[in-house]
């Protein structure tokens, strides 16, 4: 008996350890993604995702349990199971069959209706601070960030002050793309000849990453960028250092239009104030875009203007 008791305890501990390990792995998989939000938009998006999943599991879990119960209850060896193959209509069954999906659609519709209004990317965030303006240009295969208020720009490195909303104006100088910072929320299209609007905020100083969320050619997998949220005083210091970098004029921008891979972060000290408008309206012709049959190495590499 003693050895049996010991074996049961050991199995119990092993099972509990396995559950805790799987839970840890699951939480670690969420780290750095949409379920690890660092701002108000990301938190609301994660809440909607979790709520929608719970609502759907209310149907999925009982359905799975019921399927196993039916298979067990109506097995051939169970002579007590009442089997009624001939029936034409059951009001109770019809009520259950139709009411559950109807209620589910209503709950999901309510969650989506409220969330789509609250998380409208064009809707400014509620804050006592004026938003920071950032103009975003998707290139092949890199991201250009222009700060029109500070008259500086950066390549593949987005720096924002913590606790302050950021208003992004987003366009593409090539093909369709998608701007996405998973931990801040709300991916949105970057479209040639158009300008998308997006409002995000990072609550505290942190270093995270952003990606291109739509395939756009051979360099797509390297089209990522660093995101650094810093204290307001540190942001002012970064702007001051960036002003010592080379200028971003039409000639420098023409170099950025060339396709390039794994471009290191860079900064630009002065900018052409009309550059973003010229790109968005296609006053400056778009870049070449992905070429059919390209080997993925066409085009020259961009020489960084000023490393961060």
Task: Kindly state the tokens that stand for 45.
Answer: 């998006």
Is the backbone peptide bond immediately before 141 cis, with ω within 30 degrees of 0? yes
Q: Is residue 11 part of a domain?
A: no
Residues 6+ apart with CB under 8 A from 259: 140, 141, 217, 219, 287, 288, 298, 299
DSSP H or E segment with residue 6: helix 2-30
Long-range CB contact pairs, 21-26, < 8 A, 24+: none
104 and 156, same domain (yes or no): no
Tell me what pLDDT residue 221 has.
86
Q: How many CB atoms sit inside 10 A of residue 18's CB? A: 10
Mean pLDDT of the chain: 83
What is the crossing angle of helices 91-118 and 40-73, to 10°? Answer: 170
Regarding beta strands 152-155 and 142-147, do their DSSP bridges make them parallel or antiparallel, or are they unpaired?
antiparallel
Mean pLDDT of 242-265: 91
Least confident piece of the model among 34-38, 68-72, 266-270: 34-38
CATH at 71 = 1.10.287.90
Tell me what pLDDT residue 164 has.
95
Tell me what pLDDT residue 190 has.
93
Tell me what pLDDT residue 18 has.
40
96 and 162, same domain (yes or no): no
Per the CB < 8 A criterion, the answer to whether 167 and 255 are in contact is no
Mean pLDDT of 72-99: 82
203 and 63, same domain (yes or no): no
Question: Residue 6: which pLDDT band, with cuts at 50, 70 and 90?
Answer: very low
Q: How far apart are CA 212 and CA 175, in angstroms?
A: 12
Per the CB < 8 A criterion, the answer to whether 121 and 197 are in contact is yes
Q: Is residue 14 part of a domain?
A: no
Question: Residue 137: which pLDDT band, with cuts at 50, 70 and 90?
Answer: very high
107 and 175, same domain (yes or no): no
DSSP H or E segment with residue 180: strand 177-180
Q: How many domains does the chain have?
A: 2
Task: Kindly state the tokens that stand for 23.
Answer: 């839970």
pLDDT at 158 over 90: yes
Task: Kindly state the tokens that stand for 119.
Answer: 């998380």
Tell me what pLDDT residue 15 has.
40
Question: Residue 305: which pLDDT band, with cuts at 50, 70 and 90?
Answer: low
Q: Is residue 2 part of a domain?
A: no
- More reliable by pLDDT, 224 or 19: 224
Tell me what pLDDT residue 114 has.
82
Domain boundary among 118, 151, 168: 118
Tell me what pLDDT residue 30 has.
55
152 and 65, same domain (yes or no): no
CATH at 264 = 2.60.40.420
Least confident piece of the model among 67-71, 79-83, 194-198, 300-304: 300-304
Q: Which among 47-51, 112-116, 184-188, 202-206 has the top mean pLDDT?
A: 202-206
pTM score, whole prediction: 0.76
89 and 114, same domain (yes or no): yes
139 and 45, same domain (yes or no): no
Mean pLDDT of 232-247: 94
- Residue 110 structural domain: 34-118
Mean pLDDT of 185-195: 91
Question: Residue 177: which pLDDT band, with cuts at 50, 70 and 90?
Answer: very high
Vertex 128: Cα angle to 126 and 132 (nearest 5): 80
Q: Is residue 305 part of a domain?
A: no
Tell me what pLDDT residue 96 has.
83
Coil, helix or strand at residue 159? strand
71 and 177, same domain (yes or no): no
Question: Residue 308: which pLDDT band, with cuts at 50, 70 and 90?
Answer: low
């Amino acid at each position: 008996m003693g050895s049996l008791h010991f074996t049961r305890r050991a199995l119990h501990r092993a099972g509990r350890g396995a559950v805790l390990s799987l839970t840890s792995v699951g939480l670690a998989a969420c780290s750095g993604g949409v379920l690890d939000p660092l701002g108000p938009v990301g938190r609301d998006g994660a809440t909607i995702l979790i709520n929608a999943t719970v609502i759907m599991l209310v149907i999925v879990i009982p359905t799975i349990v019921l399927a196993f119960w039916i298979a067990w209850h109506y097995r051939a060896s169970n002579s007590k199971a009442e089997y009624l193959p001939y029936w034409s209509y059951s009001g109770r069954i019809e009520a259950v069959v139709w009411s559950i999906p109807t209620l589910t659609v209503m709950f999901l519709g309510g969650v989506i209706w409220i969330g789509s209004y609250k998380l409208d990317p064009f809707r400014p965030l509620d804050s006592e601070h004026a938003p920071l303006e950032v103009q975003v240009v998707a290139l092949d295969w890199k991201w250009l960030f222009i700060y029109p208020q500070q008259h500086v720009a950066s390549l593949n490195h987005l720096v924002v002050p913590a606790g302050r909303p950021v208003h992004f104006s987003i366009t593409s100088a090539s093909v369709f793309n998608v701007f996405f910072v998973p931990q801040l929320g709300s991916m949105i299209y970057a479209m040639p000849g158009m300008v998308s609007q997006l409002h995000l905020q990072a609550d505290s100083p942190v270093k995270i990453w952003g990606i291109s969320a739509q395939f756009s050619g051979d360099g797509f997998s390297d089209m990522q960028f660093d995101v650094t949220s810093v204290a307001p005083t540190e942001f002012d210091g970064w702007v001051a250092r960036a002003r010592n970098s080379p200028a971003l004029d039409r000639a420098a921008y023409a170099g950025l239009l060339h396709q390039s891979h794994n471009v290191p972060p860079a900064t630009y000290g002065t900018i052409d104030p009309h550059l973003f408008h010229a790109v968005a309206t296609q006053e400056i012709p778009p870049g070449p875009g992905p070429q059919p049959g390209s080997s993925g190495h066409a085009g020259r590499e961009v020489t960084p203007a000023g490393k961060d």
